[in-house]
Chains A and B, each alone.
Chain A
Amino acid sequence: MTDAPKPPRARPPLSRWRSKAPAILALIPAACVVLFIYIGAMVWTVRLSFSSSKMLPVLDNVGFNQYRRLFATERFNLSVEHIALFGCLFIAGSLVIGFLLAVFIDQRVRGEGVFRTIFLYPYAMSFIVTGLAWQWFLNPELGLQKAVREAGFPDFTFDWIVDQNRVMYTLVIAAIWQASGLVMAILLAGLRGVDAELWKATRIDAIPTWRVYVSIILPMIAPMLVTAAVLLAVAVAKLYDLVVAMTKGGPGLSSEVPAKFIMDNFFERSNVGLGSAAATVLLVTVIAIFSPWIYSQHLRPQGARR
């Protein structure tokens, strides 16, 4: 019962390195791509944000001028507010609705395959198609408002898409419609992995179904929720084509988002310097949000690794 003395930690013998060599060799191309393309492009963008580049890169140094101009630009400050609002509502809404859809399908309904396909179908469409279709649907003169009014409710209004204070919510609705299917697919895989014995046990204990889901199942599929949340967060940072297709920035500047600001400045306005500054700000924000999570997952000394 006594513990055998632990051997002193030694460096792995040379043969171990040799056996790892093929794996390391195989990873070198991917590592190069990550280093030169991902990280290299990021470094290049940050470098350009300190220059006065117009349409093509110019390697001078104007200090923080571009950043000063950036934070004095009303459009950029509004973009940041809008993306924060959109991000919170979109991720929360997609997770909730995706989870409810997954639970619904998990009840072994008849025609399960059909429902799954229907719910997943919107994800197959590009954001542009989604945006255009929802724009027509929400247009007060062409879509839902007109249809309901003609059906006999002349006072019905649903003109959120042309209302400065509400247009972001229309973007959230269209985006949730598109992404819930993906969340559903991911969570369904998790739900299906839950042991049938567990259900029998909960039935014996007479726990109500909703309580089982909230207190027992959700913690079990937490990694899948995190995966889904990360995928959704990526979509939030990239949000551009949905805005262009649905509102083009919305009434005035009320649905501007940072990615659209960056794209417009890089190309149409031939202002690479300002666009790079905005891209750098976006990068720093994403790093700031994700680094606590990455730290807790991978870098903590006695990491509770999953």
Chain B
Amino acid sequence: MLSVMFSMVSEIIQPGKSAQLLFLLLIGILGYTAYYLGTKGRTWEIRSLEGLEAMFEGVGRSAEMGRPILVLPGISDMGSPQTLAGITILGELTQQGAEIGVTTYSSNADSGVLTASEAVVRSAYAAVGKPELYSPGKYVRWFGNDQFAYAVGAAGQILADNPAVVVYLGYFLFDVIVDGETGNSIGAVQVGGTLGSMDFMSVFCDYILIGEELFAASAAISKDKNTIATIAGQDWVKLIVLGILIVGTLVSLAGSDAIVRLLEM
């Protein structure tokens, strides 16, 4: 019976991807379960994220100094989850800044991200009851799809606009070196979060969001308990992954490749 089921499954699912599919379904189930528990009143406390608090303090710092905020969502397109997280935070910082008269600028490298950023900024100004302050092209700039055209353009924008806070949240490569050093030269507080170029970001930024903290920040910034509940689901998945790693290591040390074969199923 089991072998019949197994052969049916292997006919339907592409070879080597069954474990992946199961894991993806598991993430989805755990994420939704956490959200569902959140809607039923369960709450979770998340630890403070240094980078996120620095962003909130940065809004106040910008107001005191009379300087704007600059948010850079990176060089990737809307297909990257890092860019999506960056745009979410752009909207939130723009809204918070708009409430107290702080301007938030952004630079994009992708035209799709440009369009989304304009929509987010427009929504932010409308949300605080100041839609008349928004005009297309005033807050969001585009310097071309090329990584270094974006880096140089954003560096020029940093020097021209003199922001008090520069926030790098998205997909970055070497361009963060150019912009990071430029931001440092004007004395801006720099907050960074990415998955790939963590090494460069840790050198140039005063505060960093490491790895998944970038995605947790985009949830935590909303202060919505249902959104924060999904972070609990994320942590459950991480615990399962940790368990697999530990068990797999021990099983491999014992000379068996059972876990490896299971994951390659």
Q: Do A and B come from one complex?
A: no
Binding site for B on A (CB under 8 A): none
